[in-house]
Structure 1
Amino acid sequence: MAEHKAEPESGGAASSLATTARTLASTLWFPAFFFTGFLVCYLLPFHNPVPHHVDVAVAGPSAGQLEQALEQKSPGAFDIHRVADADAARDAVTDRDATAGYVPDRTDPQLFVAKADGYSLESVLQKTFTKVAQQSGGQLHMHDVASTAPGDGMGTGLFYLVLACTIPSYIMVMMLLRATTFGRRKKVATFVTAGALMSVIAYVTARGMDVVPDDPLAILFIFLMTQAVSLTSYGLVPFFKQFFPGVAMGLFVLLSMPSSGGAIPVQMVPGFFRALHPIMPMGNLIEALRGLFYFDSKDIVRPVLVICGWIVFGVALILLGAWKERRAARREAEGESAESVEAPVEDPSFEMPQPSAVAPHTHRLGQQDPVLTGRVTDQHGQPLAGVAITVTGTHGRELMRAITDERGEYAAAGLPDRFVNVIASSPDRLAAVARVLARDGHPVRQDFRLMPRTAPASAPASGPAAPVAGSR
């Protein structure tokens, strides 16, 4: 008999490979995004910071010659403009019209700088103009016209203060997505309350460490920034769904930190991040706090208005998302075609709500709150244990299953914000079905009364089983 060898099932292997590829892509996209983001947004701007278009006010008629000399040595590093005298050079720095002021006197050359603009920028200016002064035969005298607070020796204290309020404002949104018993208003109220507490605690802590000067108006500025981050992040959720973590962290971590001018002065990062500096809330808060603390409140209105613009943008996104949700609910209520099932929002650190059964009467820290509860009884009102509760989407896709306890009760958490079908079934009883609207922050109760499949001999046959009136 001829030997027969089975051919490999190439179609099945290809299908398995495609499934593996899809699984890896759906689970590893965020770490891949973060890995690439850190390489591009941190390694690129921070590995070799050099000055770009640093504005220097130069006293006297030699400004043009100095500009040519610096341009030949360091193209694009410094922008020179002429002022009348040493007082004007100093005022240009304190008024934030220039980053530095230089007085090219042969016997007493002077450089006016502001350490509050960043220690690394001050060091570059000192090194550059020390050489310029030496070429003219003089010894440079430096004047720090805007010193940082005694506890902020490196001039990066504002960066870490702002960072301490930026990342928690985003993480708070991720955590509150698990709070299924909190509606939109409660979540926004939580953002406001938590932002106010963070702002006060951050300022008091920084003051206690002598990192910032004493000016309580900073609390308001910090609070506005926390709301810009949290409200915008929350508003992005219904539009980007499972990709929300990448979008929010890309905005408020990967792009905001290198463009903030806090760790590395904005004049020393590549042009792309310099262009983002006037836009991102983190950089605008640092500019506002610098002006408030060290430059007699010069130029603080524009950055504060930009931060407020982010708040308005976040509120608009939230309102638009609410309108979109209500429109989808109306369409489902009218029996129109529902949208495709949304993938759950996922974060690399926090697992987001998934439809699941939970204990009706016990709640543990970290456990999801039930959004659907109910009780199943027989025709006499006695509880029925062991009844299967199945929750499906409006098109029949099963979302979760639960079993009633000894008191006939059940509970479900993590249901999507839309109409769902709740089915109560038992082998010896007629099943009952109810349609309920599951909404974030609005727990609903659906009770059932199940009739026996065969009516007792002493009683007339009963009609089909039905939900108990009283759902809420």
Structure 2
Amino acid sequence: MAENAENAGNTAHAKGKADPESTGGGTSTLRATVRTLAETLWFPAFFFTGFLVCYLLPFHNPVPHHVEVAVAGPSAAQLEQALEHKSPGAFDIHQVADARAAQDAVTDREATAAYVPDAEHPKLYVAKADGYSLESVLQKTFTGVAQQSGGRLQVHEAAPTAPGDGMGTGLFYLVLACTIPSYVSVMMLLRATTLGRRKKVVTLVSIGVVESVVAFLVARSMEVVPNEPLAIPLIFLMTQAVALTSYGLVPFCKQFFPGVAMGLFVLLSMPSSGGAIPVQMVPGFFRALHPIMPMGNLIEALRGLFYFDGKDVWQHTLVICAWVLAGVALIALGAWKERRAARKEARAEETAAAAELSAEPPVEDPSFELPRPSAVAPHSRRAGLHEPDLTGRVTDEHGRPLPGVAITVTGTHGRELVRAITDQHGEYAAAGLPDQFVNVIASSPDRLAAVARLQIRDGHPIRHDFRLAPRPVPV
């Protein structure tokens, strides 16, 4: 009994010692959990916040800001004072000579609307192509102006939209249909580890060709846009502005790429595009972005092409081309950065430098899990599985397959990247390896180990076979 009591005391003492460690372990686990959740959920949190700020803010109560209105005759100054008193900052009035000049100001895109005062039949020239909601605000405002002078307002449509675009928002949805897929295509191609940079760029260009042609033909069949085929190359340029710039940002933004690209081409581009809500009715920050972002420039270029006799089309096209060139420059800079890192790695290996200069790690996309070094089943080609970067077969001295052999892949300075085991056919495979030189070691308890030094390159799968000799029998 005394012995049992002593054992019980020792057990209690041992538990007492273990409690602080358990508490510390629980704290470490909690920290690891919080860190994992933060790394995993930052993107939806960013997206949620971005939509609240970038969509709810400009769209919840759109009001006119500095809408250019041409007014015929000498009453322009008096009308400007009256409108400024009623709606400060809403309208910018400038005087033109007569009714003809007022109408020309709208069709030449020098003014958003034009007003011709008259005691009985004042006229308002508007352009539905600039957006139905803006047209409604203008009609409401100048109906009140006409009633104060005792007249009845006559509204004239200076730039009507296509028959299938009654709300004047068709261009926005046409452009939107080509913007988001261009960005998503880049995210999906990041998973295609067997495709090199050149093939990915060619793929993005090909996708842009298909998108622009199909989008225009579908919109034309619905009578959302007029029959102007010149719109196809304009749409194509915009798809490349988004796709190539997004792809070029990958090596610089790394795991933050989804947030940067989505922020540029969704959260900022759409509210500032002037497609859903006219740019004259959103806050100043988004009005300032309108001349810069590719989506807004494409919408303005298409409006000029379809409804304003080509006015300012080339000006907006040049902005889109600047985005395309920026994307090409980023891709070239990323390629140079990768080659520079490879040269440094090779020099470091040759001189046996102590500092590890590892190749650029794969981008982490919280929406889509990108490849990590891992062993995969040989000859697996099912959808959703990564293609292997390294494959091979291990045989004995007679060429017979050796199952159960350990294949260890290490970095240039000994850090283990992945470990695989050969199958019944003596074959092995590994995927998600970084672009760098690696050491591949084949080992088995009853065989002499073999080592190979290989260079892994994105889009260039490599195969290496081993032949293991038996260990000599000790004498």
Question: When the two structures are superposed, what TM-score results if normalisation uses the length of structure 2?
Answer: 0.92
Alpha carbons of structure 1 residues 455 and 209: separation in structure 2 relative to 1, 3 Å = farther
The count of aligned residue pairs is: 457
State the distance in 1 between where 2:208 and 2:243 align: 9
Quick one: percent identity of the two aligned structures? 78
Is 1:83–2:85 an aligned residue pair?
no
Q: Which residue of 1 aligns with 2:294?
A: 281
State the distance in 1 between where 2:157 and 2:474 align: 96
Q: Which residue of 2 aligns with 1:462?
A: none
| Alignment partner of 2:394 out of 376, 401, 420 | 376
State the distance in 2 between where 1:264 and 1:327 align: 46
Deviation readout 1:239-297 (Å, 9 max, x if unpaired): 11111001110111111110111010101111111111111111111011110011111
Is 1:211–2:224 an aligned residue pair?
yes
| Alignment partner of 1:440 out of 458, 463, 471 | 458
| Alignment partner of 1:162 out of 171, 175, 181 | 175
The letter of the residue matching 2:100 is D
Deviation at 1:8, TM superposition (A): 3.8
Q: Is the 8 A contact 1:183 1:440 kept in 2?
A: yes
Q: Which residue of 1 aligns with 2:34?
A: 21
Q: Which residue of 1 aligns with 2:413?
A: 395
Q: Which residue of 2 aligns with 1:293?
A: 306
Deviation at 1:11, TM superposition (A): 4.4
The letter of the residue matching 1:227 is Q
The letter of the residue matching 1:42 is Y
Deviation at 1:386, TM superposition (A): 1.8
Deviation at 1:222, TM superposition (A): 0.5
Q: Which residue of 2 aligns with 1:425?
A: 443
Q: Is the 8 A contact 1:281 1:306 kept in 2?
A: yes
Query: Partner of 1:250: helix, strand, or coil?
Result: helix
Deviation at 1:434, TM superposition (A): 1.9
State the distance in 1 between where 2:102 and 2:356 align: 67
State the distance in 2 between where 1:343 and 1:243 align: 13
Q: Which residue of 2 aligns with 1:265?
A: 278
State the distance in 2 between where 1:341 and 1:419 align: 9
Q: Is the 8 A contact 2:40 2:366 kept in 1?
A: no
State the distance in 2 between where 1:182 and 1:83 align: 60
Deviation at 1:12, TM superposition (A): 4.0
Deviation readout 1:38-91 (Å, 9 max, x if unpaired): 010000000000111110011110111111111111111111111101111110
Query: Partner of 2:188: helix, strand, or coil?
Result: helix
Question: When the two structures are superposed, what TM-score results if normalisation uses the length of structure 1?
Answer: 0.93
The letter of the residue matching 1:431 is A
The letter of the residue matching 1:436 is L
Q: Which residue of 2 aligns with 1:131?
A: 144
Unaligned runs of 5+ in 1: 458-472
Unaligned runs of 5+ in 2: 1-5
Q: Which residue of 2 aligns with 1:248?
A: 261
Deviation at 1:410, TM superposition (A): 1.6
The letter of the residue matching 1:224 is L
Is 1:122–2:127 an aligned residue pair?
no
State the distance in 2 between where 1:419 and 1:157 align: 52
Cα RMSD (Å): 1.9
Q: Is the 8 A contact 1:178 1:353 kept in 2?
A: yes
Is 1:407–2:420 an aligned residue pair?
no
| Alignment partner of 1:61 out of 65, 74, 95 | 74
State the distance in 2 between where 1:345 and 1:416 align: 11
| Alignment partner of 2:240 out of 227, 230, 243 | 227
Is 1:104–2:139 an aligned residue pair?
no
User: In proportion to residue count, which structure has more helix?
Assistant: 2
The letter of the residue matching 2:199 is K
Select between 21-30 and 186-195 the one with higher mean Cα deviation: 21-30
